[in-house]
Amino acid sequence: MSGLRMIYLALAVWGAVHPMVWFVTFWREEGWSLSALVSSWYVNAGSTGLVLDLTIAAVALTVWIVAETWVRRNWLALVAVPATFCIGVSCGLPLYLFLRTRPVAIQP
């Protein structure tokens, strides 16, 4: 595995683990409510702007993943879509880059 792929994989793992630490901390303090977590994202203009920014980035990433998967036929890369929306862009983007840069068998 190339050094660049290892960096992408490390960033995907970090992008999955680090945000989850904060989410679990929130749930331990406030109770295990997804709606409470989502409500907290809109407590002020700054956090609302950040949520909208990340949502637009997630949608753009999803369009890119689907478009490239369709052309490249790299169906495994589609796992980055649920990773993006269930974990976050911080996991979905490096995961997609990791999957996209894998060696592809040349078809005759």
pLDDT of residue 106: 65
Distance between CA atoms of residues 38 and 35, nearest Å: 5
Residue 12 has pLDDT above 80, yes or no: yes
| Amino acid in the structure at residue 49 | G
What pLDDT, in 10s, does the model give residues 66-87? Answer: 999 999 888 999 999 999 999 9
Residue 1 confidence (pLDDT):
83
Q: pLDDT at position 105, please? A: 67
Domain segments of the chain as ranges = 3-100
The predicted-structure confidence for 16-48, as pLDDT tens digits, reads as follows 999 999 989 999 999 888 899 899 999 999 999
